[in-house]
Amino acid sequence: MKGPKEAALRVSSQEKKKMGLKELLLRLKETPLFGKRPSETKAPALTGVEQLDLIDRSQLSIFFEKDPLVALYEVAMDRTQAPADSFFKRCRFFSLAELCEFALSKNEPGDIVECGCWRGHSAYMISTLASKYGFRGAFHIFDSFEGLSELSEEDRSQRFNLNTQEVAEQAKWFACPEDIVKANLSGFPFVKTYKGWVPDRFAEVADKRFSFVHIDLDLYKPIMDSIHFFYPRMVKGGIIVFDDYGSARFPGAKVAIDEAINKYSPTFFFRHPTGGAFLIV
């Protein structure tokens, strides 16, 4: 079963290993945006751009030649048994890892944060890079471990107009017990998990400074609360990465981030055309 968030490639991992990227992309092209779930039938037909007709494969050497960060994505997916995979998620997590490496190697020291870890896929990637760079701080991970919180008005998507039951299913899909995440990340002594609804436990790190923050909470209110808490505590040049910017399924993320950019005017803000965004303080 694939997650609602990703345009999942409906092929088994065994099949994937045998396939080249060409076949994977062709399969993606033939895959309706959100597969089999009931809500998907309501999605409008895909346009040419959505079907990736314009992809120039010669530009994808990072994926064909398996860049170390792409290899890290696959190792982390395997170690955390992350059940969602897509080309676009690979692009977002590649950028996440690239930015994390930059912060670890160039920024003044500060702690690392992730808000929204699910099974720990991105946290595993961040932790591996932190180990590589001899990170001496703490990596704080905040999650309900019970899935998504309540939707705000900003989170209502016209395109993915879910009914009450579908909203509940979506929320629960992202629930993963804290013990599993701790076990998945047990090789990294600097990891600390905080179970609770954002922002309830942020006060426990109020005296810290942060060099790298990954916000992957999907919804307007917790994303907004996270930015308001962490932005003023970032080191100069600190980086905040947003996974959900531009997602049609989670429109509240863009609303929250755009509002925050207006308020804080960071030095730099970048929207990835394939989803996700980041800012430099």
Ligand X SMILES: C[S@@+](CC[C@H](N)C(=O)[O-])C[C@H]1O[C@@H](n2cnc3c(N)ncnc32)[C@H](O)[C@@H]1O
Among 218, 229, 240, 269, binds ligand X (CB under 6 A): 218
Q: Give every strand in the sheet of 111-115, ordered side by side.
A: 191-195, 139-143, 111-115, 210-215, 234-242, 277-280, 268-271
Chain residues 141-180 in contact with ligand X, contact rule CB under 6 A: 143-144, 147-149, 174
Does the footprint of ligand X cover residue 82 (CB under 6 A)?
A: yes
Does the footprint of ligand X cover residue 219 (CB under 6 A)?
A: yes
Does the footprint of ligand X cover residue 217 (CB under 6 A)?
A: yes
- Segment contacting ligand X (CB under 6 A): 33-41, 44-52, 116-124, 229-237? 116-124
Given the complex with ligand X, which of 51 and 149 has the nearer CB atom? 149
Burial of 64 (0-12, 13-18, 19+ CB in 10 A): middle
Given the complex with ligand X, which of 196 and 266 has the nearer CB atom? 196
- Segment contacting ligand X (CB under 6 A): 50-58, 64-72, 215-223, 252-260? 215-223
Helix (H) or strand (E) holding 68: helix 68-80
Among 37, 90, 92, 121, binds ligand X (CB under 6 A): 121
Rounded CA gap, 234 and 213, in Å? 9
Does the footprint of ligand X cover residue 224 (CB under 6 A)?
A: no
Sequence-distant (≥ 6) Cβ neighbours of residue 127 within 8 angstroms: 139, 185, 187, 188, 190, 191
Given the complex with ligand X, which of 83 and 237 has the nearer CB atom? 83
Does the footprint of ligand X cover residue 99 (CB under 6 A)?
A: no
Does the footprint of ligand X cover residue 118 (CB under 6 A)?
A: yes
Given the complex with ligand X, which of 31 and 127 has the nearer CB atom? 127
Does the footprint of ligand X cover residue 72 (CB under 6 A)?
A: no
What are residue 220's phi and psi, to 5 degrees?
-50, -60
Chain residues 49-68 in contact with ligand X, contact rule CB under 6 A: none
CB atoms within 10 A of CB 4: 19
Does the footprint of ligand X cover residue 198 (CB under 6 A)?
A: yes
CB of 59 to ligand X, least distance (A): 25
Does the footprint of ligand X cover residue 100 (CB under 6 A)?
A: no
Which residue has the closest beta carbon to ligand X? 116
Rounded CA gap, 72 and 95, in Å? 12
Size of the site for ligand X (CB under 6 A): 21
Q: How far is CA 154 from CA 26, 222, 257, 274, in A?
A: 34, 12, 12, 21
What distance, in Å, lies between the first and last C-alpha atoms of the chain? 39
Sequence-distant (≥ 6) Cβ neighbours of residue 249 within 8 angstroms: 4, 5, 34, 157, 159, 160
Does the footprint of ligand X cover residue 83 (CB under 6 A)?
A: no
Residues in the site for ligand X, rule: CB under 6 A? 5, 82, 116-119, 121-122, 143-144, 147-149, 174, 197-198, 216-219, 222
